[in-house]
Chains A and B, each alone.
Chain A
Amino acid sequence: MSAGKISGGRYMRRKAVNVAMLVLSGASAAFGLFWLFWILGILILRGAPALNWAFFTQLPTPPGMAGGGLANAIVGTLMLTVLATAMGVPVGLMAGTYLAEFGRQTALGRVVRFVADVMTSAPSIVIGVFVYAVLVQPMRGFSGFAGAVALAVIMIPVVVRTTEEMLKLVPNSLRESALALGAPYWKVVFRICYRRVFGGLTTGILLAIARVSGETAPLLFTSLNNPYWNFDFTKPMGTLNVTLFNYAMSPYDDWRSKAWGAALLITLGVLCTTVIARLVVSRTQIGRS
């Protein structure tokens, strides 16, 4: 009889440990979300009042003067991101295509896959130092172009890996039926495989864009900053991110409030791009099944 009692006690204890651990795991999930909501809440609370018509249309004021906006920095960020995408995405797509179509088992494929994975998480500030050394120093000046190159370098590994993963989802039977009809391989890849996973490729590119549009560190000493309109990629270019850094560190209340506005704008842009990217991929997955 006593044995039954002991095992009953042990059973209760096991149950209790189980419940405690599961509560802890739930608590850690709540802990993670808590910070997200805190940060987003603060951003909206402090950033929204700074976003007015002038913020989007006017140039920055001299230090200490109220008013003005960050129109040049908004345009600068968009220009840099577009140029970086134009440079980084084709490279990433092609290298990713190699991995999926020719390099699944080759040594080069393995090495490139490994390097791309490592570079995805490599510190972005080092990329900035690298671009400074190869572009800014020899050209004797900070430039928007250098900033875009730094962002492109960060985008490439992200696009490489998503392109590969997506192309791998295309069943070989599809490739083989197209080949059997006499289509050359490049046509099979570009016209059939790409089209089949178009949504997934778009997701990869959008995620890469989201990733770089929040980057500040690689821009600090490549595109630098510029308080005026500038559409010339050979000159320093203002961006929201670097402006936010400078304004947040400044002693002026008006600048700090603009920094919160910029922070809200950047975060909204990045989070919206991320969510859209997710929606695109989940829609194509539904289409596939």
Chain B
Amino acid sequence: MAEPSPAPAENRRASRKAPAPWGDIVFKGSTTAFAFLVLALIGTICVVLYSKGHLAISTFGFKFLWNTAWDPVREDFGALPSIFGTVVSSLLAILIATPISIGIAVFLTEMAPPWLQKPVGLGVEMLAAVPSIIYGMWGLFIFAPIMARTVQPWLKSTLGFLPLFQGIPMGIGMLTAAIILAIMIIPFIASVSRDVFSLVPAMAKESAYGLGATTWEVIRGVVIPHTRSGLVGAVFLGLGRALGETMAVTFVIGNAHRISASLLNPSNTIASTLANEFSEATSPLYISSLIELGLILFLITTTILALAKFMLWRIEAQVKGAPR
């Protein structure tokens, strides 16, 4: 059964018999109005961002998307460095976070003894609850100095011939931001993966065990193929989170409007540009350009999150539709 069973109020035949008392009409009308309000909210966000960013959109046109300049004095603005930083830091974070998150989900569903499941699950949940700004502060004062002293010089000395690892190891920069982003999105990917893993019918797993498969073989041969689109959804959800993450990145990315191949160099993301410059922007064109950046970020993240949601719905429908 893919569809949830209707609430009694949705049962048309019952409601046709007698006219609803006025209290129920008010009740249905007002809850419906509030449901519309939620829809109106997201619509208003899009319209307002577009209209307030219109000055920048009409001044720069599509060139805004690939212009690399960001010069408040000459009023020449382009989004490319911020978009580049946003996308690269998030993709790196996903690269780091995905295997670890799936590992955690496997641990929680298939491996951990019951007495360990709860505390570990709670710990992972706590990791998600720690506010973004705390990650940022810890990243700037504790983690970045460690990166500068140990990890980055080591990367430079072993892999320094690659353009990815050149420049001065300052601690802050793209790589540090990506690692912190990865830590922040691990709990989200892990908890969604755990949920989709638990959708796998026990019978399928037990059949594989009955054929003599090891735990890992069951995971690789039954659980993961069963939940592939759900896992993709989980990763997309993490990606959506990482793209819009603000405070943690603002602390550690270094805030430089430039595109650099090296992961050790400071960079910028859309969110960190907004956090740093919005309250200081004075001219209308400057503010409008920042709002257009916000619109771009909103469109990118909602697209990614919508895709994630779509994937997760598909797996739920698939599991509920299949005979158990």
Contact = CB atoms under 8 A, between A and B. Distances in A.
Contacts of B1: none
- Among B28, B129, B214, B279, max chain A CB count under 10 A is at B129
Interface string A208-249: 001000111100110010000000000000000100110010
Nearest to A186: B27
B151 interface: no
Contacts of B245: 123
B20 to A, nearest CB: 7
B20 A108 contact: no
A167 B187 CA distance: 26
Contact of B133 (A28, A32, A95, A241): A241
B305 A122 contact: yes
Contacts of A97: 31
Contact of B103 (A18, A29, A124): A29
B28 to A, nearest CB: 6
Contacts of B302: 118, 122
B275 interface: yes
B290 interface: yes
B274 interface: yes
Interface in B193-234: 214-217, 219
Nearest to A29: B107
Contacts of A109: 35
A163 B259 CA distance: 45
Given A114-B306, A172-B5, A123 B37 contact: no
A18 B3 CA distance: 38
Contacts of A175: 7-8
A94 B36 CA distance: 11
A53 interface: no
Contacts of B41: 119, 153, 156
A248 B45 contact: no
Interface residues of B, number: 96
Nearest to B291: A129
A211 to B, nearest CB: 8
Interface stretch (B136-144, B158-166, B170-178): B136-144
A271 B237 contact: no
A141 B247 CA distance: 23
A123 B6 contact: no
Contacts of B106: 25
Interface string A178-209: 01000011110100000000000000000000
A129 B246 contact: no
Interface in A96-129: 97-106, 108-109, 111-112, 114-119, 121-129
Interface stretch (B64-72, B76-84, B116-124): B116-124
B147 interface: no
Interface of B: 3-10, 20-21, 23-24, 26-28, 30-39, 41-42, 44-45, 48-49, 52, 99-101, 103-104, 106-108, 110-112, 120, 122-127, 129-138, 140-142, 183, 186-187, 190, 214-217, 219, 237, 240-241, 243-247, 251, 271, 274-275, 278-279, 290-291, 294, 297-298, 301-302, 305-306, 309
6 contacts: A18-B217, A33-B124, A36-B127, A39-B135, A125-B271, A270-B130
